[in-house]
Structure 1
Amino acid sequence: MNKSTFYFLTFIILAGCQQSQKKKESLELNEVVQGKSTILVDQNGVQFRDLNKNKKLDIYEDINQPIEARIDDLLSQMTLEEKAGMMFINGAPVSADAKPDGKEGLEGPASRMASVVENMDKLKMTHFNIWSIPADPNFFAKWYNNTQQVAEKTRLGIPITIASDPRHHFSNTIFSMSAKGFAQFCEMPGFAAIGDENLVAEFANIVRQEYLAIGIREALHPQIDLATEPRWARISGNFSEDAELTARLVKPYIRGLQGEKLSNGIACMTKHFPGGGPQKEGLDPHFSFQKGQIYPGDNFDYHLIPFEAAFEVNTAAIMPYYGVPTDQTDENVAMAYNKTIITTLLREKYKYDGVVCTDWGLITDLPMGPDVVWKARAWGVEDLNAADRALKIIEAGCDQFGGENRPELVVQLVKEGKLTEERIDVSIKRLLKQKFELGLFDNPFVDETKVNEIVGTEASVALGEKTQKISMTLLKNDKSTLPLSQKKFKVYLENIDSAAVANYAEVVATPEAADFAIIRLNTPWYPAETNVPMAKGFHHGDLDFKGDEKQRILDLLNKVPTIVDIYLDRPAVIPEITNAAAALIANYGASDKSVCEVLFGNTAPQGKLPFELPSSMDTVKNQKTDVPYDSENPLFEFGFGLEYHKKEN
Structure 2
Amino acid sequence: MTTRNRRFHALALPVAGVLALTGVGVATAASAPRVSAEAQAEAAATQALRGLTLEQKVGQLFVTWVNGKSADEVNPKNQADFGVDTPAQVIRKYHLGGVIYFNNDTRDNFDDPVQVAKLSNGLQQAAVTSGAHIPLQIAADQEGGTVTRMGAPATEFPNAMAIAAGRDTGRATKAATILGHELRAVGINQDFAPDSDVNSNPVNPVIGVRSFSGQPGLASDFVTAEVKGFQDSDFPPKTVAATAKHFPGHGAAPTDSHTGLPRIDSTEAQWRATDVPPFKAAIAAGIDSIMSAHIQFPSLDPSLEPATLSKPIITGKLRNELGYNGVVITDSLEMQGVRQLHSDAEIPVLALKAGVDQLLMPVHLDVAINSVLNAVKSGEIPMQRIDQSVLRVLKLKFERGILFSPFVDPNRVMKVVGTPANLATAQDIADRGITAIANDAGLLPLKQKPATTLVTGWGVSTTASLAQKLTAHGTAATAYQTGQAPTDAQIAQAVANARNADLVVVLTNNIGGFPRQTQLLDALQATGKPVVAVAAQIPYDAGYPTSVTTWLATYGYIGPTLEALAKVILGETAPVGKLPVDIPAGTDMQTVKYPFGHGLTW
Q: Give the shorter-chain TM-score range.
A: 0.7 to 0.9
Counterpart in 2 of 1:153?
129
2:184 corresponds, among 199, 212, 215, to 212
Q: Secondary structure at the match of 1:195?
A: coil
Q: How does 1:239-388 map to 2 (within 5 A)?
A: 239-259=212-232, 263-279=237-253, 282-288=254-260, 290-295=261-266, 298-302=269-273, 303-361=275-333, 375=336, 377-378=338-339, 382=341, 384-388=342-346
- 1:610 and 2:580 correspond: yes
- Deviation of the 1:328 alpha carbon: 2.9
Counterpart in 2 of 1:587?
554
1:182 corresponds, among 145, 154, 162, to 154
In 1, Cα distance between equivalents of 2:431 and 2:193: 23
Contact in 1 for aligned 2:450/2:502 (Cα 8 Å):
no
Range moving further from structure 2, 507-516 or 342-351: 507-516
Counterpart in 2 of 1:467?
429
Percent sequence identity is 24
- Deviation of the 1:375 alpha carbon: 4.8
Q: Secondary structure at the match of 2:545?
A: helix
Q: 1:507 to 1:146 in 2, by over 3 A?
A: closer
Contact in 2 for aligned 1:167/1:179 (Cα 8 Å):
no
Counterpart in 2 of 1:84?
58
Range moving further from structure 2, 341-350 or 309-318: 341-350
Q: Secondary structure at the match of 1:519?
A: strand
Runs of 4+ in 1 over 6 A off after TM superposition: 104-107, 109-114
Q: 1:499 to 1:251 in 2, by over 3 A?
A: closer
Q: Secondary structure at the match of 2:291?
A: strand
Q: 1:47 to 1:311 in 2, by over 3 A?
A: closer
Q: Secondary structure at the match of 2:567?
A: helix
In 2, Cα distance between equivalents of 1:403 and 1:140: 20
Contact in 1 for aligned 2:219/2:278 (Cα 8 Å):
yes
Contact in 1 for aligned 2:450/2:503 (Cα 8 Å):
no
- 1:165 and 2:141 correspond: yes
Q: How does 1:406-485 map to 2 (within 5 A)?
A: 406-484=368-446
Task: Select the structure of larger CA radius of gyration.
Answer: 1
In 2, Cα distance between equivalents of 1:478 and 1:570: 17
Q: 1:565 to 1:84 in 2, by over 3 A?
A: same
Contact in 2 for aligned 1:287/1:377 (Cα 8 Å):
no
Q: 1:472 to 1:63 in 2, by over 3 A?
A: same
In 2, Cα distance between equivalents of 1:219 and 1:165: 6
| Structure 2 runs not aligned, ≥5 long | 33-39, 104-108, 458-462, 479-495
- Deviation of the 1:386 alpha carbon: 4.1
Q: 1:442 to 1:490 in 2, by over 3 A?
A: closer
Q: Aligned letter for 2:198?
A: L
- The TM-score normalised by the length of structure 2 is 0.84
Range moving further from structure 2, 352-361 or 564-573: 564-573
In 2, Cα distance between equivalents of 1:400 and 1:587: 35
- 1:519 and 2:506 correspond: yes
Q: Secondary structure at the match of 1:642?
A: coil
Q: 1:194 to 1:375 in 2, by over 3 A?
A: closer
Counterpart in 1 of 2:67?
93
In 1, Cα distance between equivalents of 2:82 and 2:381: 35
Counterpart in 1 of 2:88?
117
In 2, Cα distance between equivalents of 1:607 and 1:112: 51
Counterpart in 2 of 1:137?
113
Q: 1:375 to 1:555 in 2, by over 3 A?
A: closer
Q: For 1:614-649, what per-residue CA distance to the aligned partner results, in whole angstroms no more than 9, with x for missing partners?
A: 2121x13xxxxxxxxxx22x22122211002xxxxx
Counterpart in 1 of 2:481?
none
Contact in 2 for aligned 1:168/1:184 (Cα 8 Å):
yes
- Deviation of the 1:60 alpha carbon: 6.6
In 2, Cα distance between equivalents of 1:237 and 1:117: 33
Q: 1:321 to 1:490 in 2, by over 3 A?
A: same
In 2, Cα distance between equivalents of 1:597 and 1:606: 12
- Deviation of the 1:111 alpha carbon: 12
- 1:642 and 2:594 correspond: no
In 2, Cα distance between equivalents of 1:598 and 1:111: 51
Q: Secondary structure at the match of 2:541?
A: coil
Q: 1:488 to 1:410 in 2, by over 3 A?
A: closer
- Deviation of the 1:129 alpha carbon: 0.8
Q: Secondary structure at the match of 1:635?
A: strand
- 1:563 and 2:537 correspond: no
In 2, Cα distance between equivalents of 1:197 and 1:167: 16
RMSD value over aligned CA atoms? 3.2
- The TM-score normalised by the length of structure 1 is 0.78
In 1, Cα distance between equivalents of 2:601 and 2:383: 61
- Deviation of the 1:515 alpha carbon: 2.8
